[in-house]
């Protein structure tokens, strides 16, 4: 509609201009230069100026509108009652467009302030920087945590710790890392998580910093308390009988606080003494075995990682499991199923230590399902969407309660009469050495699933 009105006005002006030009030409041909010729000339010039002005008016208004957009000025409003329908319609369209741009800009500002508030009030310290190390964002939590009021470049972090500077530059997107540093003479345990985003033509790395010192200290204290309780239990179970028997045997050779003479000792006393010494020896050996078990937790060999096929590990575990069942549970038939996807799945691990972990998990499953009606153990391996290798040991045994799950990785904790209580703790330590983790899913009556991410 606007374009039609504008075109109509232009056509009228051009037609009038053409008529004036024809009339002027006729007067020139007749060689008449009276007052009418003069009026035609004036009207022609005026019409030309009007046509140019009419064209320029719309161009100027559009130029003014575009300038206001470039200068982010949405306050400019064109009159919609100029008396010219075409320009009034054009002005209404421009004003509506201007209003939409203003609303969109306000929406962006509100969103930006919302995200700024989220970033500033985040419980994590956030630092974003480009490939040149120029810091684009550092929220209050990050500045307070690092004790630096103004952060402009990543090199400034060297004042806090050179290790922190190197870690933030080298940490890969999607990875997590723990870092222990000293800030203002205080030990701080930092957990770093990195991600990368593309912003215009720049790669921006965003690092989330969390001080987990309190959580680690609390976890460490809890672990020590649990370990001390178990150590106390195991040691007292061995030492108490030794002390008691020593006192009893000592009583065989004393009377009224004085040592008995050899001729006053009978065969029964000697037999009881030998039995007591045998029990003391047995408990002493148990204590030595306990200490050796503790040493095995603290003295693991260095890793010798190599690429190994998961399928080969499963085959070795299957052979070892069958041998164990034939030796300890000859009357029980346990089905062991394997699944590997892809078939040639490879992991980088110490073959000896990793096989030790897998066999320990399978051995636990065998002991858990020996009373099941149809005992089945499944060994599964696959690659996750994130690129990690996931290995599962699943059984259909009696399962575990939640309070038991929370304790099974504590050193020396065991529910079996002859168990050492170090198998799962040792397994977790080995998997941690491989920069992986081991978790458990279980519930009473629904079996157990041990999951290794490596």
Q: What is the pLDDT of residues 38-85, one digit of tens each?
A: 666 667 667 666 666 666 666 666 767 777 777 777 676 767 777 666
* pLDDT computed for residue 245 by the predictor: 74
- Give the N- to C-terminal CA distance of the chain in Å, as an integer: 68
Over its C-alpha atoms, the chain yields an Rg (Å, rounded) of: 44
Q: What is the pLDDT of residue 392?
A: 93
* Enclosing H/E stretch for 255: strand 254-255
- Following DSSP, what letter does each residue of 131-143 receive, concatenated? TT-BEEEE-HHHH
Residue 359: per-residue pLDDT: 86
Position 17 scores a pLDDT of 67
CA dihedral 362, 367, 373, 376 (to 10 degrees): 0
Q: What angle do CA 82, 87, 88 make, to 5 degrees?
A: 60
CA distances 226 to 108, 402, 429, Å, are 53, 17, 17
Backbone angles phi, psi at 60, to 5 degrees: -65, -40
At residue 327, the pLDDT reads: 74
Among 221, 211, 170, smallest CA distance to 194 is for 170
Residues 122-211: name the CATH superfamily.
PAS domain (3.30.450.20)
Name the stretches of the chain with pLDDT < 70: 1-13, 17-18, 20, 22-42, 44-45, 47-61, 63, 74, 76, 78, 83-87, 184-185, 216-217, 219-238, 240-241, 286, 289-300, 411-413, 415-421
Please state whether 449 falls in left (phi above 0), alpha (psi between -120 and 50) or beta. Answer: beta
CB 377 within 8 A of CB 334: yes
d(CA 278, CA 426): 32
| pLDDT tens digits for range 424-434 | 888 888 888 88
Phi and psi, residue 399, nearest 5°: 75, -175
Pairing of strands 389-395, 376-383: antiparallel
Residue 370: both structure tokens together = 């020996």
H-only helix segments in 253-306:
267-298
How far apart (Å, rounded) are the C-alpha atoms in residues 69 and 451? 58
User: Would you state the pLDDT for residue 56?
Assistant: 64
* Confidence at residue 118, expressed as pLDDT on a 0 to 100 scale: 83
pLDDT score recorded for residue 379: 92
Task: Identify the pLDDT of residue 150.
Answer: 85
Q: Look up the CATH number of domain 306-453.
A: 3.30.565.10
Task: Name the DSSP class of 124.
Answer: S
Give the pLDDT score at 309: 92
- Show the tokens assigned to 161: 């710790």
């Amino acid at each position: 509609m606007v374009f039609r009105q504008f075109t109509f006005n232009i056509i009228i002006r051009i037609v009038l201009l053409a008529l004036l030009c024809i009339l002027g030409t006729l007067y020139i041909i007749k060689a008449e230069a009276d007052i009418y010729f003069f009026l035609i000339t004036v009207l022609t010039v005026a019409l030309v100026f009007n046509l140019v002005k009419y064209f320029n008016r719309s161009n100027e208004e559009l130029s003014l509108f575009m300038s206001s957009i470039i200068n982010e000025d949405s306050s400019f409003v064109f009159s919609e009652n100029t008396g010219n329908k075409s320009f009034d319609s054009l002005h209404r369209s421009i004003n509506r467009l201007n209003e939409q741009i203003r609303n969109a800009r306000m929406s962006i500002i509100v969103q930006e302030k919302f995200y700024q508030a989220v970033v500033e009030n985040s419980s994590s310290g956030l630092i974003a920087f480009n490939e040149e190390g120029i810091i684009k964002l550092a929220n209050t939590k990050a500045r307070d945590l690092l004790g630096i009021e103004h952060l402009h470049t990543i090199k400034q972090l060297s004042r806090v710790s050179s290790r922190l500077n190197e870690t933030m530059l080298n940490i890969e997107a999607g990875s997590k890392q723990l870092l222990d540093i000293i800030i203002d003479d205080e030990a701080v345990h930092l957990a770093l998580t990195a991600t990368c985003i593309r912003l215009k033509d720049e790669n921006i790395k965003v690092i989330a910093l969390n001080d987990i010192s309190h959580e680690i200290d609390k976890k460490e204290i809890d672990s020590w308390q649990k370990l001390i309780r178990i150590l106390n239990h195991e040691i007292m179970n061995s030492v108490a009988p030794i002390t008691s028997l020593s006192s009893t045997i000592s009583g065989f050779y004393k009377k009224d606080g004085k040592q008995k003479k050899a001729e006053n000792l009978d065969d029964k006393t000697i037999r009881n003494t030998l039995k007591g010494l045998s029990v003391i020896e047995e408990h002493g050996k148990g204590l030595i075995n306990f200490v050796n078990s503790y040493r095995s937790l603290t003295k693991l060999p260095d890793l010798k990682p190599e690429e190994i096929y998961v399928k080969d590990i499963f085959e070795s575990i299957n052979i070892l499991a069958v041998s164990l069942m034939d030796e300890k549970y000859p009357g029980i038939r346990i089905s062991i199923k394997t699944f590997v996807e892809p078939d040639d799945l490879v992991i980088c691990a110490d073959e000896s230590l990793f096989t030790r972990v897998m066999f320990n998990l399978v051995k636990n499953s065998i002991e858990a399902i020996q009373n099941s009606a149809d005992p089945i153990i499944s060994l599964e391996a696959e690659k996750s969407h994130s690129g990690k290798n996931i290995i599962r040991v699943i059984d259909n045994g009696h399962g575990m309660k939640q309070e038991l799950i929370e304790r099974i990785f504590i050193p020396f904790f065991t529910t079996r009469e002859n168990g050492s209580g170090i198998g799962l703790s040792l397994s977790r330590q080995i998997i941690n050495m491989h920069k992986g983790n081991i978790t458990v899913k279980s519930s009473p009556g629904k079996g157990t699933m041990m999951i290794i991410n490596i």
